[in-house]
Structure 1
Amino acid sequence: MSKQKLTKNQKRRIQSNKQKTLSEYQQRKKEKRDSVEWQDEMLGEIQQGRVISRYALHADIEGHNREVFRCNLRRTVSNLVVGDYVLWRAGHQQLQGISGVVEAVQPRKNVLSRPDYYDGIKLIAANIDKIFIVSAMLPHFSSNIIDRYLVVCESLGIEPILVLNKVDLCEENERQEVEQLFDIYRNIGYQVLMLSTQSGENMIQFTELVSQGCAIFVGQSGVGKSSLLNYLEPHLGLPIGAVSENSGLGQHTTTVSRLIRLKCGGEVIDSPGIREFGVWHLDSNTITNGYREFQPYLGGCKFRDCKHLDDPGCMLQQAVEQGKIHPLRFENYHRLIVALDENKAGRHFVTN
C-alpha cells in the first residue's frame, strides 16, 4: 500500500509542532529543576484567585488587590488555563521565585479548546463572555472561517460579535459587497461591527462591548487583533504582524497566553492557541446545531439519518429553496461536515 503524501502545509505544521514540543519539554525540564515541594506548614490559608498567565508547570495567579503571584500546581491540578478561577495558598516566604501553590480549579462557566495534532484536544481559555470574530479584506476574507467560529460559540453558549476591521482600507464597492455579506449574519441575529482604528469608526461602541466581561479576539493572522488591543491599551505596545505581499497571509504576533485587564473595565485573553482553530473535535450534530437558523427545521426531515444533501423530504433543503436559509451558509455547513470527516480520517487541521 502506497503512503499518502503530506502537503507542504501539513509538513510545516508537523515541523512546527515538533519544535513546539521540544521547546515545551525544555521549559518543563527547567521548571521541574526549579520547582518547590510545598509542605502545609510552609503555606498560608486557602484563598481565591484568577489565572492570568500559564506556563508548563507554573501559573501566575492574581490574588487580592490584583497582586500577582507565581505558583506551582498540585499534581491533582491538570489542564489549568488562563481565565480559570482557582483556590491557592501563598507561601510564608518566596522560594526560588515561587510564591505559592494552586490547590484546585473552581467550576468553569465554559472552556475554549482546539484540536492539537499530537495531544488531541488542547484547552485554551476558560470563563469567556464574548468572542470577537475579527475579519478583514486582507488576508483573504472567508465566510467559512466565520461560520467555523460561530459553530464553536453556539456550542459553548458564548456570545459572538462579528467584526470587519480596517474598513478604512476598503474601496466603496468592496464596502458595499462586504456589507451585503454581513447582512446574512445580521438577519439571523448576530451583531456586526465595522471598525477602523485609523478613522475611529465604531470604536466607541467596540470599547463599550469589550468593557463588559471577559473577551477573546479570534481570526486569521493579519486581521488586526493586536491593533485592536493596542487601541484599547496603548501601553501594551503589542507587535503588529504585517500581511505578506507574496502569500497574502498575516504573521503571528502573540506568543504567550495571558489575561489583560483593560482600563475600560473588561478583560481580554490573548492566546497563541487561537491560531489553529479547527472543528474536528466536534461531532456532526454539534456542527448542525451550531447553525442557529437551522433550528426550526431540525427533526422534521423525512428520514432520521438525513444528510441534508439531495435526500428526499429534507427540511433544510426546502428552507434554502424558500429563501429561509441563505445558500452560502448552507454551503459552508457542508464544507465543515466534509472537512470534519477528512480531518478525523487524516488528523489534519481545517485552515480555510
Structure 2
Amino acid sequence: MTKRKKLNKGQSRRVTDNHNRRLKRNVADTIDDSQLGPQQDGLVISRFGQHADIEDGEQQIHRCNLRRTLGSLVTGDKVAWRPGLDTSHGISGVVEAVHPRTTVLTRPDFYDGVKPVAANIDQIVLVSSVLPELSCHVIDRYLVAAEDVDMPPMIVLNKVDLLTEQERSHAEKLLQRYCDIGYQVLYVSCDTGEGLEELKQAFNNHTSIFVGQSGVGKSSIVNAVMPEVGAVTGAVSDNSGLGQHTTTTARLYHFPSGGSLVDSPGIREFSLWHLAPERVAWCFREFREYLGGCRFRDCKHGTDPGCLIQEAKENGKIHPERLESYHRIMAAMADKPTRHHPNSL
C-alpha cells in the first residue's frame, strides 16, 4: 500500500478550519425546536459569519444562529426569529426567515458575483475628506453606484477645519458641480462641530448608510452625532497616505430623535465593472436628457460626431470633469480585473 503523504502545517490548518466551519454551519440546525420560543419579527443590527445580532421589538439585542436555508443576510434585513428558552454559549435565538427587502445596497465581487451589503436603506451618505485627499472622481464613482440602486445620495465633506480659507474656497468650487445638478452637499468638522446639527436633521426619519474611502472619518462622525456609540476610529497612515480600516463589519445604530444609521466597513475602491456601459451613462443624472439623441446609437460620447453630451459640455450644461470621470470609469470597465480586491465595493 502506498504510504499517505504527510500534510504540511498549512494543509493541516486548512483541514482543521474547514472542519470547524462545517461544525458551525450545522449548529443552528441541530437546535431542538422545543427549546425555542414563539416566532417574532426582528431587525438585523449586524452580521458575524454564521451569527447575527437581532433587535427585538423592545430594542433589545440577541446574538442568534442562522438557519442554513436563509441565503444572504445583511445589516438592515427584517427577519423572523425565535428566541431560545435558555441561552447557550452566548447564543440566545435562531433566525428562521428574511422578509422581502425594499432596497438593497450591493457590491460586485469577482469571485461571488454581486453581493448585498445592507438592506432597507433609503439614503446614502457619501463621506469624503480633505485627507487622504478630496477626489471628485471617487465621489463620481460612489454617485454612480447610488444612482444605480436608486438611493438618494448626500455628499459630506469632512475635516473642513483643516482647510485654510483659500483651500476651503477651492473645495467649495470643486463641489459646486454637484449642487448644480441637485445633490445635497454638507461641510462638516467633528472638531469644531460645523455642519453636525444639519447632518443630524438630514438623518431624521431615514435609514442611512455611510460609504466612503478609509480614513475619511466616517466613524468619527458617528461618534460626533451619537456619542453613546463609541465607534472605533483610526488615523491616516503616514507611510501610505491611505486610511486605516477601523470598522470591520456593518453595524446599525438608532438616533434618539428618530432614524437609523448603518456604519459600513471602510473601503478604498468602488468598483463598477458589473454595470452595463449604458447604465453607467444613465447614472450620471445630468446626462439623461441627452441619452438616445446622439447621431449614432452606439455613441461613446467622446469624439463621435453628433454627440449631444459633448455638445452639452461645450454649452456649459455638463461639467467637463464630470464627463472626464465618465470616460475614466468606462476605460476602467474595459480593462476588467483578473482578480477583484476583496475590500472594494
Asked if Structure 1 and Structure 2 have the same fold, meaning a TM-score greater than 0.5 normalized by the shorter chain, the answer is yes
1:94 to partner: Cα distance: 2.9
1:62 pairs with one of 46, 51, 55: 55
Distance, in Å, in 1 between the alignment partners of 2:258 and 2:327 is: 40
Aligned equivalent of 1:229: 222
Which of 246-255 and 167-176 deviates more? 246-255
> Residue in 1 aligned with 2:250?
257
The match for 2:175 among 163, 178, 182 is 182
| TM-score of the two chains, using structure 1 as the length reference | 0.87
Choose the corresponding residue for 1:123, options 110, 116, 129: 116
Confirm or deny: 8 A CA contact 2:125 2:155 kept in the other structure: yes
Residues 124 and 24 (structure 1), Cα distance of their counterparts in 2 relative to 1, 3 Å cut: farther
**Offset at 1:250?**
1.4
Residue 314 of structure 1 and its aligned partner are, at CA, apart by: 1.1
Q: How far apart in 2 are the matches of 1:23 and 1:324?
A: 61
Distance 1:29 1:172 in 2: 58
> Comparing both structures, which one devotes a greater share of its residues to helix?
1
| Aligned: 1:299 with 2:292 | yes
Please give the alpha-carbon distance, in whole angstroms, between the structure 1 residues aligned to 2:124 and 2:229. Answer: 20
- 1:283 aligns with 276
Shift of 1:336: 0.7
- How far residue 347 of structure 1 moved from its aligned partner, in angstroms, is 3.9
1:7 maps to what in 2? none
Count of residue pairs brought into register by the alignment: 331
The alpha carbon displacement at 1:50 in A equals: 0.5
Q: How far does residue 34 in structure 1 lie from its aligned partner after superposition? A: 5.2
Q: Which runs of 5+ in 1 are unaligned?
A: 1-20
1:339 aligns with 2:305: no
1:87-120 deviation line (CA, Å, top 9, x unaligned): 1222333344322222211111111121224323
Q: Could you list the per-position Cα deviations for residues 131-175 of structure 1 after superposition, in whole angstroms to 9, with x for gaps in the alignment?
A: 111111110211111011111111111111111111111011111
Give the RMSD, CA atoms, in angstroms.
Answer: 2.5
What amino acid is the match of 1:320?
K
Matched, 1:72 2:65: yes
Deviation, structure 1 residue 25: 6.0
Query: How far did residue 215 of structure 1 move?
Result: 1.2
Change (3 A) 1:67 1:25: farther
Q: 1:309 to 1:56 in 2, by over 3 A?
A: same
> Which whole-Å CA distance do the structure 1 matches of 2:222 and 2:329 have between them?
30
Deviating more after overlay: 264-273 vs 206-215: 264-273
The yes-or-no answer on 1:108 pairing with 2:101 is: yes
Name the TM-score, length of structure 2 as normaliser. 0.88
Matched, 1:322 2:311: no
Q: Is the 8 A contact 1:36 1:96 kept in 2?
A: no
Q: Higher mean Cα deviation, 327-336 or 301-310?
A: 301-310
- One-letter amino acid of the counterpart of residue 231, structure 1: A
